Amino acid sequence: MRLTKSTDIALRMAMRLAVTGENDAPTTREVAGAVGVPYTHAAKVVSRLQHLGIVEARRGRGGGLTLTAAGRTGSVGRLVRALEGTGDVVGCEDDPPCPLAGACRLRGALRAAQEAFYAALDPYTVEDLVARPTGPVLLSLGSGPPS
């Protein structure tokens, strides 16, 4: 299974925010630069993470991004489920629909594999992901916007 680019960006941004100092609230542009993603993608992801209660964003002077308590200690599996959705791995109902849809066992097997993937992420939190040696590396990343 491969995660969408949006989920990848969301996880990297959450990890970067998890190592940010308590009195530091970087801007979306700064975090985007640090994790090497375009600002426009990062801004969309921040909006989604705000909606999920993972990130708090404040505008204006003294504003910036902070990771919420739920973002720090919530399950990575739950976050990835929310970002990816629980749709089918394959397009059984696409146009045209698969002619095997009524009698196929593959769809159920793939759904079970997808859930096993998410379940493997359930025990982890963002805080777990930024433990040494990852946290210091995240802090050393530049903050210039990617080209």
- What are the structural domain ranges in the chain? 5-86+124-140
What is d(CA 3, CA 5) in angstroms, rounded to the nearest whole number? 6
Span 89-125, pLDDT tens digits: 777 777 888 888 778 888 889 889 999 999 999 999 9
Instruction: Inform me whether the pLDDT recorded for 147 exceeds 50.
Output: no
Give start and end residues of each alpha helix (H) in 28-123: 28-35, 39-51, 69-73, 76-84, 106-121
The architecture CATH gives domain 5-86+124-140: Orthogonal Bundle (1.10)
DSSP-assigned letter for residue 125: B
| Residue 68 to residue 125: CA distance in whole angstroms | 12
Report CA-CA distances (Å) from 33 to 1, 60, 62, 138, 146. Answer: 27, 19, 19, 12, 5
Q: Which of 45, 47, 11 is nearest to 130 (CA)?
A: 11
Q: Which residue has the tokens 């916007």?
A: 145
Q: Are 16 and 126 in contact (CB under 8 A)?
A: no
For residue 97, the model assigns a pLDDT of 80
Q: What's the whole-model pTM score?
A: 0.85
Residues constituting the chain? 147
Instruction: Tell me the per-residue pLDDT of 13-66, one tens digit each, with 9 for 90 and over.
Output: 999 999 987 778 999 999 999 999 999 999 999 999 999 999 999 988 878 999
Burial category of 121 from C-beta neighbours within 10 Å (exposed 0-12, middle 13-18, buried 19 and up): middle
